[in-house]
Amino acid sequence: MSQYFTENFSILTNERKLALDVFGHKLQFLTNNGLFSCNKVDDASLLLVQSMPACKGFLLDIGCGYGVIGIILAKINEISLFQSDINRVALEYAKKNAALNSVETTLIHSDGFKNITGNFDIITLNPPIHAGKEVMYRLYEESAAFLNPGGSFYVVIQKKHGAESSIKKLQSIYQHVHILYKKKGVYVLQCIVTG
């Protein structure tokens, strides 16, 4: 079975458009087979953006998929948006969806933070659970080095996918880890860089 964090152009056989009404904005997202949550905008991603406070500055949506988190946040905040993914197909759809929703973004093809340069005020992540704990924890560890002082790393994760162990891991990296949302087994976490 093909995974959304790998590239397989042969599976692109069923492009569809998803409609979403969020924060008073009517948004549309093109998607296709093989992309994460291709039939429905992911509920956890929506909970992440709905739980975050207003933000501004430079935002990196890492593992952006077809662009949902970053595009929503760019519609409701004054941010400079950067989106990255290991999957070029996902980035192509993030590009299409940014244009479809009149959002400016800078797209970066990157395995985690490998091709990322500069620092950000906000980093968002809906982690690639099926890539394994080692990949998730690498993203957690590397995130702090790419945040400006006072910057925040936001993560959404389900209890059944290791939320409690993720919290412990994040507490070993960040001085401040806050639970912004905890309901029905879903956690939204804010991790803040001090100094």
Cβ-contact 147, 120 below 8 angstroms: yes
- Angle, in degrees to the nearest 10, between helices 133-143 and 163-173: 30
Is residue 1 predicted with pLDDT exceeding 50? no
**CA distances (Å), origin 47, targets 28, 68, 84, 91, 106:** 18, 12, 20, 22, 24
CA 137 to chain centre: 15
Looking at residue 158, its pLDDT comes to: 87
State which CATH number among 3.90.1150.10, 2.40.160.20, 3.40.50.150, 3.90.1530.30 fits the domain covering 42-192: 3.40.50.150
Is residue 8 predicted with pLDDT exceeding 60? no
CA distance 2 to 4: 7
Instruction: Dig out the tokens for 152 from the structure.
Output: 């925040």
Looking at residue 4, its pLDDT comes to: 45
Number of CB atoms found within 10 A of residue 21's CB:
8
Q: By three-state DSSP, how is residue 15 classified?
A: coil
Q: What is the pTM of this model?
A: 0.92
